[in-house]
Amino acid sequence: NMNEHQLAIAETTFGGRSELADSTGIMDYGSLIYITLQRATNARDAIKVMTNLVNEYGYYSGGESFSIADPNEVWVMEMIGKGTGNKGAVWVAVRIPDDCVSAHANQARIQQFPLDDPDNVLYAPDVIDFAREKGYYTGSDADFSFAQAYAPLDFGAMRFCEARVWSFFNNVNKDMGQYVTYAQGKTTEPMPLYIKADRKLSAQDIQNLMRDHYEGTELDWRFDVGAGPFNSPYRWSPLTYEVDSVEYCNERPIATQQTAFSFVAQMRSWLPDEIGGILWFGIDDAAQTVYYPFYSGHNIVPHEMAAGNGDLHNFSWTSAFWIHNWVSNMVYTRYSDMSEDMKKVQSKLESTFASQQPQIEEKALALHKQSSEEAVKYLNAYTNTLVEEGMAEWKKLGEYLMVKYVDGVIKPEVNGEFKKNQYGQPANPIRPGYSNEYYQKIIDQTGDKYKVIPVE
């Protein structure tokens, strides 16, 4: 979500204490975001607008974490209501230092905060007193933790939510391994709200970090029996299940099948707003999406992403939602093989977008000097063409996967073409079966059931 001033707002729901939901409030978190984007021009202004709106109209939603960013600052604000009939909300907003990264994933993250640093921390006047009044906190002001008071930790908050934050941090800072037991739900010492990354991160780096499934960590789940024969980093919902009265869980990585859309917001202060702001927007599972550059002046929705082009009950061959879901649901069935084919097309498209960006923006800047409307028109056409051509590529990918892997075999290829025999017919397919590790799992479970017995 980004407006014409390069102001971007995103959110994750942490819920928090259920008794603080206000069923009489008018402003839910979605309305709060969209109305604020209509009214605010920068992050600090957005915080003021959002908190004024809930004070005036009441706050309907549960606890929320908001990322609020403009070309110069990034803030994380956490907010929760005061219960039915008690208009308003308690909240804290913390500015993220320019040399740091932060993350939130459906669990409150703000712990203790300075009470006398208005340049970097803003908060509701009663955020501590209200917690005392409700019996959530009895200590000193200096030791007050927003997260502990309003969203106490449980196993799910750590394993399903904070684990995603940990994985992101772990990918950018070599010292974050110390928090792995917290991510596993075994210890409760929280991670910091923000950390310094070991390297400078680009928008494309962030896109790739959105595709994480805990690969290479203690939470990597591609190699147990639940991963099936093709090392899938996915499990179908629900998150928890019970066997013999004992509760177990699936992991909940950053990239997941039920994602509707995701985005990476890029804001650049040295460019005109119409060109400086980009919402890199992708449909469906972040691991299998393509992030398209929508500039902040964009005002013509491409047909492939328009409301009414298909819906949850009606498939459309021109809908980005359905084309991406069609491909991803094929990839899920044979992940270790098909995902590699998918990544080749994904990388080709996104690398092309990144390499074209300087020259596209150079031309847009030249147009902007004559007319901002002409620059917007040019960028509209550019992005919408990328989406149209990208959807054609993704549909072609789906057709390719169907042909290559139909009926559980693999058609061999030579130089990017399916191989033919000397008669011009399709060459014999490859029948790879399963890995030895998977066959061993079958034998461990079934013993001699499938053993081939020689007949004398």
Q: What is the pLDDT along the chain (456 residues), one digit of tens a residue?
A: 999 999 999 999 999 999 999 999 999 999 999 999 999 999 999 999 999 999 999 999 999 999 999 999 999 999 999 999 899 999 999 999 999 999 999 999 999 999 999 999 999 999 999 999 999 999 999 999 999 999 999 999 999 999 999 999 999 999 999 999 999 999 999 999 999 999 999 999 999 999 999 999 999 999 999 999 999 999 999 999 999 999 999 999 999 999 999 999 999 999 999 999 999 999 999 999 999 999 999 999 999 999 999 999 999 999 999 999 999 999 999 999 999 999 999 999 999 999 999 999 999 999 999 999 999 999 999 999 999 999 999 999 999 999 999 999 999 999 999 999 999 999 999 999 999 999 999 999 999 999 999 998
Domain ranges across the chain = 8-152, 261-408, 413-446
Distance (Å, whole) CA 354 – CA 342? 18
Q: Of 323, 306, 320, nearest to 396 (Cα)?
A: 323
59: phi then psi, degrees, rounded to nearest 5: -115, 120
* Tokens (6 digits) for 133: 């009044």
Q: Give the number of other Cβ atoms within 10 Å of residue 320's Cβ.
A: 28
**Residue type, position 150, single letter:** Y
Q: Give the number of other Cβ atoms within 10 Å of residue 99's Cβ.
A: 9
* Tokens (6 digits) for 146: 């927003």
3-state secondary structure of 221: coil
Query: Do the beta carbons of residue 274 and residue 379 sit within 8 Å?
Result: yes
